[in-house]
C-alpha cells in the first residue's frame, strides 16, 4: 500500500490559462488581446463583465429591442474600464469574429471563475492577483449613453467574404 504524501504545491495561479492563451500563436490577435486584458482581474468580475458584454453585442446584432440602449449603458458605465477595454479589443473586427472571440473568451473566464470558487471552498490559496485597474472609475471620457448610435459596417460584413469597406 502507498503512503499518501502531502506535497505543498504553493499557490495556484488563476491567471495561468490567460497567460498561456495570450502567448499562443494559434490564437487570433483578438483572442490574445482579450486574454491579456483579463490578467489580474477578479475571476467572477471578469466572467460576468465578459458575459454581459457578449450577450449585449449578440442582442444588438440580432436587433433586439433595447439592445442598443443596453450597449450604450455598458460602455458609458461609471465603473472601471474593463468592459470598455474588452469592447475596443473586438470592435470593428466584424460581428462574426467579434462574437466568436467573445464566446471563446467567456468560456475561459467561466472555467477560471469556477476554479476560483473551488479554491475558496477548499480553503486552498491562490496566487496573489494584482488588479490592473488602479481606480474604480473610468480613466478618461466615457462613451455617450445615447442609444441612437449607428452601427458601423463591421456589424454587417464578414471579413473573410472579401471586399473592403470604403470610407464615405
Is the pLDDT assigned to residue 69 strictly greater than 90? yes
Is the pLDDT reported for residue 166 higher than 80? no
Q: CA-to-CA distance for 94 and 42, rounded, in angstroms?
A: 29
pLDDT for 130 beyond 80: no
Write phi, then psi, for 12 (nearest 5 degrees). -80, 135
| Res 67: pLDDT | 93
For residue 153, give Cα distances in angstroms to 30, 114, 168: 18, 37, 11
* 167/165 Cα distance (integer angstroms): 7
pLDDT for res 25: 97
Q: What is the pLDDT of residues 23-66, one digit of tens each?
A: 999 999 999 999 999 999 999 999 999 999 999 999 999 999 99
In the structure, what pLDDT confidence band is assigned to residue 144 with cuts at 50, 70 and 90?
confident
For residue range 71-116, what is the model confidence (pLDDT) as tens digits?
999 999 888 789 999 999 999 888 889 999 999 999 999 999 998 8
Query: In sequence order, what are the residues at sequence separation of 6 or more whose Cβ sits closer than 8 angstroms to the Cβ of residue 107?
Result: none
pLDDT at position 3: 60
Give the side-chain half-sphere CA count within 13 A for 131. Answer: 12
Question: How far is the C-alpha of 71 from the C-alpha of 77, rounded, in Å?
Answer: 10
Choice between 147 and 59, residue whose per-residue pLDDT is larger: 59
pLDDT band at 118 (very low <50, low <70, confident <90, very high): confident
Cell of 164: 473592403
Assess whether pLDDT exceeds 60 at residue 119.
yes
**pLDDT classification of 2: cutoffs 50, 70, 90:** low
Amino acid at each position: 500500500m502507498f503512503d499518501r504524501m502531502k506535497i505543498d504545491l504553493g499557490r495556484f495561479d488563476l491567471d495561468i490559462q490567460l497567460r498561456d492563451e495570450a502567448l499562443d500563436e494559434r490564437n487570433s490577435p483578438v483572442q490574445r488581446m482579450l486574454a491579456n486584458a483579463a490578467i489580474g482581474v477578479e475571476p467572477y468580475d471578469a466572467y460576468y463583465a465578459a458575459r454581459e458584454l457578449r450577450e449585449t453585442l449578440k442582442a444588438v446584432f440580432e436587433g433586439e429591442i433595447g439592445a442598443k440602449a443596453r450597449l450604450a449603458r455598458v460602455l458609458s458605465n461609471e465603473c472601471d474600464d474593463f468592459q470598455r477595454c474588452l469592447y475596443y479589443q473586438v470592435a470593428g473586427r466584424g460581428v462574426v469574429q467579434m462574437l466568436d472571440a467573445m464566446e471563446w473568451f467567456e468560456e475561459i473566464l467561466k472555467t477560471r471563475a469556477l476554479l476560483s470558487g473551488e479554491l475558496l471552498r477548499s480553503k486552498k490559496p491562490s496566487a496573489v492577483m494584482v488588479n490592473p485597474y488602479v481606480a474604480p472609475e473610468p480613466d478618461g471620457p466615457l462613451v455617450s449613453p445615447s442609444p441612437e448610435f449607428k452601427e458601423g459596417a463591421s456589424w454587417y460584413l464578414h471579413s473573410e467574404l472579401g471586399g473592403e469597406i470604403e470610407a464615405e
